[in-house]
């Protein structure tokens, strides 16, 4: 379960890097959060994932303590995959989804 948590830390870092790349691409300087719709979608997807990250980590550890760690780890991996897919879908325009 600890190994999964280490891997889990890479996903928010990846999302933050995508925001940095979008800021450069669309010329949006920090701390501005408004810009072209393409930038705002990337920024909002990252913010949404960051908002739910503490809840995910808490639930992952509670599930690992009170239930089987293997099942908790598999559910955690499934959640991470779903979050990645969510991020990729959210950054597309509504017509592209």
| Active-site annotation, residues | 24, 97
Contact 16, 68 (CB under 8 A): no
Contacts of 9 (CB under 8 A, 6+ apart): none
Prior bond to 31 cis, omega within 30? yes
């Amino acid at each position: 379960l600890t190994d999964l948590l280490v891997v889990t830390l890479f996903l928010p870092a990846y999302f933050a890097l995508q925001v940095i790349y979008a800021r450069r691409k669309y010329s949006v300087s920090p701390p501005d959060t408004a810009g072209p719709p393409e930038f705002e979608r990337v920024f909002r997807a990252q913010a949404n994932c960051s908002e739910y990250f503490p809840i995910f980590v808490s639930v992952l550890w509670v599930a690992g303590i009170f239930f089987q760690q293997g099942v908790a780890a598999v559910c955690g991996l499934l959640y991470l995959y779903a979050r990645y897919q969510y991020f990729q879908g959210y950054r597309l325009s509504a017509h592209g989804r």
